[in-house]
Structure 1
């Protein structure tokens, strides 16, 4: 769980390995999805399926938003999502907006050096393959590779690994490199993310 607050909550294209529920406590959030955009006002929540690339834009309004990250499919019914949120925040949202689970999930793109091989397998040039990938998934193959590493870093942090070990195992040059990219993608630092996860675990005990 995390809290996003302020007038500048814009994030670039990214995805999560978990389902995300964004519950707006005050203000409004503007989410950009592959084929449409969604405005989520105070008292509303948006459930974004795992693996769905999305971004958000600033609309110049002071906003507070609670983000929950859940096992894919857990509490997927809007009524269940509302009940889940009601147990965490004082006010249950009036309406939970749901996005259908994508029929095509993002593929596994192993490493930058393999993109040429993937393009060849599809009988395409690297450039044509990259254009098609971006058209279908809203992000470049290289961008997806980076997101995969950042989501791996989140998993390591939830397991309690140190920042240095997380950066190493997730394939980053160092903690600073990981930290800059992590904050740009998720709007928080690795240390802050790990601290919030620990606090959430303590509240559950």
Structure 2
């Protein structure tokens, strides 16, 4: 079974409605569920400020979109495991979401795909809008989040790539950018069960990502010593002293460079450890302890704020 929404006008088997998503059978496919979904976004406030200076890629011309629907969608965020060795995780967004996720980063590269509507992101200091038929790659360790939305008819997917899913040269090229965007209108005509294969083929074919565009991440290279200090020292004041800063000065410089405080960065690192342990089948209580949280409830609340699902929901999607 391949979890997604049915294509309008498709000859494939019709949808079956469950309590939390639409499903469609994908004959002949051994791939067990890719996560596809949508968070919609209007021009709403980010931290109390309007979305000004939005970096908006050009809108593609209208094409047949086999992922379109005219019926109302449920509002849903769901992590799901695709059963594909090229993926570590996938996440479905369907419908509107009045609150966005907190700024966070992943240990793996993320590929975002928009099927319907549009979706706005904050990536570091950049605000951008993604349209249907466009691919967004967020390299590993780049702070980002999808912004809140009141728009209902949006479907998108987030794919978290396994380390060996990309050629080595492609991984090296990615590290030079904050993010990359490419037009891929063929996605709108691609059957859901073939989406991962399409993305993998597109990125393998264009190993140098020459047809993609995005801002340089040279500032991260210049400020790498800040991350090294945080990794080496348990306390922010110790990291600051190691580089000759006051505690306040170090927090200010780190936040300007990476979009989050050193404390938030370390919390995110511990939660990423939690994601790995949950995928490996560790219990939630053991995972919370290993990730340095004093209790399971604190771990669960923090996990939900950053990743949009509870640890139990996340683990269930990756162990079934």
Interval containing the TM-score (normalised by the shorter chain): 0.7 to 0.9
> What is the TM-score when the length of structure 1 is the normalising length?
0.81
1:46 aligns with 2:152: no
TM-score normalised by structure 2 residue count: 0.54
Question: Which of 85, 92, 100 is equivalent to 1:10?
Answer: 100
* Higher CA-based Rg: 2
CA apart distance, 1:100: 6.2
Aligned CA RMSD, in angstroms, stands at 3.1
Number of paired residues? 195
1:159 is matched with which residue?
280
Match of 1:202 in 2: none
Residue equivalent to 2:162: 71
The partner residue of 2:270 within 115, 135, 149 is 149
| Matches of 1:136 and 1:72, distance apart in 2 | 25
Shift of 1:187: 0.9
Whole-angstrom CA distance in 2 between matches of 1:47 and 1:22:
6
1:1-205 matches, cutoff 5 A? 1-8=90-97, 10-62=100-152, 63-72=154-163, 74-75=165-166, 89=193, 99=214, 102-103=217-218, 104=220, 107-108=227-228, 109-110=230-231, 113-199=234-320
Q: Secondary structure at the match of 2:237?
A: helix
Deviates more, 1:33-42 or 1:163-172: 33-42
Give the conservation status (yes or no) of the 8 Å contact 2:233–2:239. no
Q: Which has the higher contact order (CA 8 A, sep 6+)?
A: 1
Structure 2: state its 5+ residue gaps. Answer: 1-89, 171-179, 204-211
Q: Are the aligned partners of 1:34 and 1:138 in contact in 2 as well (CA < 8 Å)?
A: yes
The whole-number CA distance in structure 2 between the counterparts of 1:65 and 1:169 is 32
Name the structure with the higher strand share: 1
Bigger share in helix: 1
